Amino acid sequence: MRAKLIIHGGFFSESLTNQEIKLAKQEALSEIVQKSYIHLKTHTALQTSVFAVSLLEDCPLFNAGLGSQIQSDGKIRLSASLMDGKSQKFSGVINIEDVKNAIQVAEKLMCEEDRVLSGSGAHEYARQNGFEHFNPETAQRRKEYEEKLSASIGLGTVGCVALDNDGNIAAATSTGGKGFEIPGRVSDSATVAGNFANGYAGISCTGVGEDIVSAGLSVKIVTRVTDGMSLQKACRKSFEEMKSYDGFAGIIGIRSDGEMYHCDSHPYMVWASYDKQLSVFV
């Protein structure tokens, strides 16, 4: 089995992306996918998807971790989830505040009985487990918030799907949300609609959380692949079904036979993959 890796950096925003940002995103995605692919050679799909998403969270160009969107009350709340296709375990945090890498809190929760925590419970758990206080706000996001631009742009979640040398698949997704949301709003990113994997396939989504949840998108695509469809066909059929409500979503995925696929309902999700050679789209 040859290892495969695909990552995404959410949707490209014409209104916010000048040539300089575009090139910076391209460079960041290329570097992160290559570093993560090297990591995948000696680590599992699960460990690598956390590694890749942590790097994406640390890059202020993307809406996850450092540089996350600010919610309508001026606070940043992060959501992230992880799914191990081998053990079929899902873990996640919803609307956690003041941590650097929400995906690493999700990783820690993998070995707990209670594996999805929200709000203050997630925050408390992170503190008890050594995650230090970290404010993910950047001057750029504050500026956008103050200009109330976020209401119209906001999409830029990050994610990774990895297939390791032993044939195991994992998916990880992390977001700062859609920007300007009502505090308490739950994103798709820490649900099985936004992030799912089993022994057959793994999917990470970005886009409008409400549309992704309405479609049950990740779990639906993975179920179709499990029942024998190719990844491409499963994605196309599932995206077709979102057309009736103009669902806004993008996905990256890998099937256990090595098929990699990405698609989006609206232009353009930014992504990168590594499989012998590098592909980047920004």
User: Is 231 an interacting residue with respect to ligand ASP (CB under 6 A)?
Assistant: no
Asked if 5 and 160 touch (Cβ cutoff 8 Å), the reply is: yes
* Short-list 47, 281, 62, CA closest to 162: 47
Nearer to ligand ASP, 63 or 168 (CB): 63
Nearer to ligand ASP, 104 or 173 (CB): 173
User: Is 188 an interacting residue with respect to ligand ASP (CB under 6 A)?
Assistant: yes
Report the alpha-carbon distance of residue 250 to residue 46 in Å, rounded.
Answer: 21
For ligand ASP, which residue has the nearest CB?
Answer: 209
Of the candidate spans 107-115, 122-130, 183-191, 258-266, the one that interacts with ligand ASP by CB under 6 A turns out to be: 183-191
User: Is 175 an interacting residue with respect to ligand ASP (CB under 6 A)?
Assistant: yes
**Least distance from C-beta 165 to ligand ASP, angstroms?**
30
Of the candidate spans 45-53, 86-94, 184-192, 220-228, the one that interacts with ligand ASP by CB under 6 A turns out to be: 184-192
What tokens appear for 161 in the block? 């799907």
User: Is 195 an interacting residue with respect to ligand ASP (CB under 6 A)?
Assistant: no
User: Is 157 an interacting residue with respect to ligand ASP (CB under 6 A)?
Assistant: yes
Catalytic-role residue among 44, 138, 157, 226: 157
Q: Which positions from 199 to 228 touch ligand ASP by CB under 6 A, shown as an x/- string?
A: -------xxxx-------------------
* Short-list 129, 164, 158, 159, CA closest to 46: 164
Nearer to ligand ASP, 137 or 211 (CB): 211
User: Is 189 an interacting residue with respect to ligand ASP (CB under 6 A)?
Assistant: yes
- The continuous run of DSSP H or E covering 8 comes out as strand 4-11
Report the alpha-carbon distance of residue 160 to residue 254 in Å, rounded.
Answer: 10
**Least distance from C-beta 209 to ligand ASP, angstroms?**
3
User: Is 63 an interacting residue with respect to ligand ASP (CB under 6 A)?
Assistant: yes
What tokens appear for 143 in the block? 């500026």
Binding-site member from 60, 65, 92, 156 for ligand ASP (CB under 6 A): 156
Strand partners, 269: 11
User: How does DSSP assign 116-178, residue by residue?
Assistant: EEEHHHHHHHHHHTTPPP-----HHHHHHHHTT-GGG-----EEEEEE-TTS-EEEEEEE--S
What tokens appear for 14 in the block? 């014409």
In the sheet that holds 169-175, the strands lie side by side as 116-118, 89-96, 78-84, 169-175, 158-163, 4-11, 269-275, 277-281
**Least distance from C-beta 61 to ligand ASP, angstroms?**
13
Residue 191 falls in the annotated catalytic set: no
Asked if 179 and 55 touch (Cβ cutoff 8 Å), the reply is: no
User: Is 9 an interacting residue with respect to ligand ASP (CB under 6 A)?
Assistant: no
Q: Number of residues interacting with ligand ASP: please give it, by CB under 6 A.
A: 15
Nearer to ligand ASP, 3 or 52 (CB): 52
Residues with a catalytic annotation lie at: 157
* Binding residues vs ligand ASP (CB under 6 A): 10, 63, 155-157, 175, 177-178, 187-189, 206-209
